[in-house]
């Protein structure tokens, strides 16, 4: 009897936590379909007018494009660097391995806003403020710790004896990489790419400070509009779309690549 009671308690607690986490997202999604002129919950009439408005808005469209481009470039660079670093650290087992791992994860431990302000003054010296290169480098830096963490965990799980066995069967190092290491690392590569893209895509703090007027990303534009014009139902619709896109990515990642086990 006691175990049935504690099972029920566990279920209740889990349900409460889930509701707490998901409630704002539900509010956002329902409100996005509201037909009114201002933000309100619960919605009284339903329409797609705010989605239409969001898509027809040229500024939002260009921001979405910038965010996607930036996210893809930063992800490709960060995941490549993270994979090389993980390979060197896990397979090379250098004496300073622990120190490098700590350095790779260091950006996670700093308040981003403090780090971004310092970066801003460095960029000012280098004349890199407001440039795409500067923005990409900043996004690589904030996504790298996540990508590196996943790639180190991924490579740690690949038995080096598999690579040794392949070599003994006649595979050159390039063939070992292509036929053994990469296929086994694929889940890690995909989940670290997904995480890196999401971190880049969702960033407001660093991008606001570094990007200047030329490269306004989707979340930055949404956030600034929110501050200047109050809660605009267009941003609610955009927010709902970002949530839907993010959930989709995570669900796909979770399903196919057991993302949660690696992180």
- By CB under 8 A, name the binding residues for another protein: 159, 161-162, 164-172, 175, 179-180, 183-184
The CB-of-178 to another protein minimum distance in angstroms stands at 12
Q: Name the minimum Å distance from CB 171 to another protein.
A: 5
> Cis peptide leading into 30, omega within 30 of 0?
no
Count of other CB atoms within 10 angstroms of residue 214 = 11
Work out the number of other CB atoms within 10 angstroms of the CB of residue 84: 12
Report in angstroms the alpha-carbon separations of 238 from 75, 150, 218, 244.
23, 30, 9, 10
Q: Taking the complex as a whole, how short is the minimal distance between the CB of residue 208 and another protein, in angstroms? A: 43
Which residue number, 183 or 230, has a Cβ lying nearer to another protein? Answer: 183
> How many other C-beta atoms can be found within 10 angstroms of the C-beta atom of residue 142?
22
Distance CA(150)–CA(127), nearest Å, equals 34
Cis ω before 42 (30° cut-off from 0) = yes
From the CB of 181, what's the least distance to another protein, in Å? 11
The residue among 27 and 171 lying less far from another protein, judged by its C-beta, is 171
CB of 204 to another protein, least distance (A): 39
Q: Which is nearer to another protein, 47 or 172 (CB)?
A: 172
Q: Environment class of residue 4 by beta-carbon count within 10 Å: exposed (0-12), middle (13-18) or buried (19+)? A: exposed
Give the phi and the psi of residue 194 in degrees, each rounded to 5: -60, -45
Q: Smallest distance from the beta carbon of 155 to another protein, in angstroms?
A: 15
**Of 29, 26, 74, whose CA–CA distance to 195 is shortest?**
74
77 vs 151 by CB, closer to another protein: 151
**Closest separation in Å from C-beta 146 to another protein:** 25
Q: What are phi and psi of 34, to 5 degrees?
A: -70, 145
> Residue 4 or 95: which CB sits closer to another protein?
95
Judged by beta carbon, residue 171 or residue 243, the one nearer another protein is 171
Q: Is 18 exposed, middle or buried (0-12, 13-18, 19+ CB in 10 A)?
A: exposed
| Nearest CB to another protein, comparing residues 138 and 166 | 166
């Amino acid at each position: 009897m006691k175990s049935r009671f504690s099972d029920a308690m566990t279920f209740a607690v889990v349900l409460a936590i889930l509701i707490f986490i998901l409630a704002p997202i539900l509010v956002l999604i329902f409100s996005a379909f509201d037909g009114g002129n201002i933000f309100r919950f619960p919605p009284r009439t339903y329409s797609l007018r705010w989605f239409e408005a969001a898509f027809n808005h040229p500024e939002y469209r260009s921001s979405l494009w910038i965010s996607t481009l930036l996210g893809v470039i930063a992800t490709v660079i960060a995941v490549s660097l993270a994979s090389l670093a993980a390979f060197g650290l896990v397979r090379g087992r250098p004496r300073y391995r622990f120190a490098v791992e700590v350095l790779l994860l260091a950006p996670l431990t700093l308040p981003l806003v403090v780090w971004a302000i310092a970066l801003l003054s460095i960029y000012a010296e280098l004349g890199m403020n407001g440039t795409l290169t500067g923005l990409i480098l900043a996004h690589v830096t904030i996504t790298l710790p996540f990508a590196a963490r996943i790639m180190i965990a991924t490579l740690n799980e690949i038995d080096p004896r598999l690579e040794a066995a392949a070599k003994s069967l006649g595979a050159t190092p390039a063939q070992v990489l292509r036929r053994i290491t990469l296929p086994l690392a694929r889940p890690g590569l995909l989940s670290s790419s997904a995480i890196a893209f999401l971190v880049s895509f969702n960033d407001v703090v660093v991008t606001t400070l570094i990007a200047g007027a030329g490269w306004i990303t989707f979340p930055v534009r949404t956030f600034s509009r929110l501050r200047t014009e109050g809660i605009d139902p267009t941003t609610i619709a955009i927010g709902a779309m970002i949530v839907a896109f993010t959930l989709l990515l995570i669900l796909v990642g979770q399903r196919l690549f057991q993302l949660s086990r690696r992180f």
